[in-house]
Amino acid sequence: MSHGSRTGREDGLTELERRFCEAFVGEAKGVATYAYKLAGYSQNSQPQTMRRNAHALMRKPHIKAYLQELQENDPLVATRIERLQFLTRVMRGEETNPVWVRDFPEPIPSPPSIRDRLSAAEALAKAAGEHIQKVEMKVQDDSANLSTAELKRRVLDIVTALPDEAEPDTVEGDPSDQDAT
C-alpha cells in the first residue's frame, strides 16, 4: 500500500493525512508547512510548493474535522469554557499567584493585580462580542466635482479599509439617484 492510499478508516484519511494532522497538533505546533514535512510528504519540494500543498490540505473538510477532533480530545488544550472560567476567576480576584518571600518556607498566595483583573475583564468582553472598535476617518468633501465612477471608487476604498468585523451596507447605483433627506 502506498503512503497516499486510503486506509479504510471511516474518516476517509490517508496515512499521510493522518500523520499530517497529528504533527500539526503535536510537534509542528500549528505550523502547517512543518507538519507537511514531518508527515513525510515529498522532502524534495520547494518551500513554496510545500506551503501551498500544506494549506490545501488544511482546507479539506475531512482534515478539518480530524484536526478539530484531535484538538477537542487533547487534555492539554483548554476548552473555551475553561478559558472563560479562568478569566472570570482572575477578574474576580479568585485566582492567585504564588509569591516567594525570603526566609519563609512556602509561597504566599497573592491575588491578581488590578491591571491583570482589568485585562481579564477586557478579554471576557471581547470573547462575548461586547468590544466595540471605533473607526475615525477624515473625509474631504470635494464630491460635487467628482464623477459617479470616481465617487464609487472612493466608497469602495473606504469600505475595504474598514475592519473585518464591520459589515457596511452595499452601495449600488448612481448616488445622484438617492433622495436627499
pLDDT value of residue 4: 47
Do 84 and 68 share a structural domain? no
CA angle, residues 157, 163, 169, in degrees to nearest 5: 65
Question: Into how many domains does the chain fold?
Answer: 3
User: Would you say the pTM of this structure is higher than 0.85?
Assistant: no
Domain-terminating residue out of 30, 48, 72: 72
pLDDT value of residue 93: 92
Q: Which domain holds residue 65?
A: 15-72
Contact 58, 64 (CB under 8 A): yes
Do 68 and 29 share a structural domain? yes
For residue 87 the three cell numbers come to 478569566
Angle between helices 80-91 and 114-127 (to 10 degrees): 140
Question: Which residue positions in the chain have pLDDT lower than 70?
Answer: 1-11, 77, 132-135, 137, 139-143, 163-181
Q: Residue 136: inside a domain, yes or no?
A: no
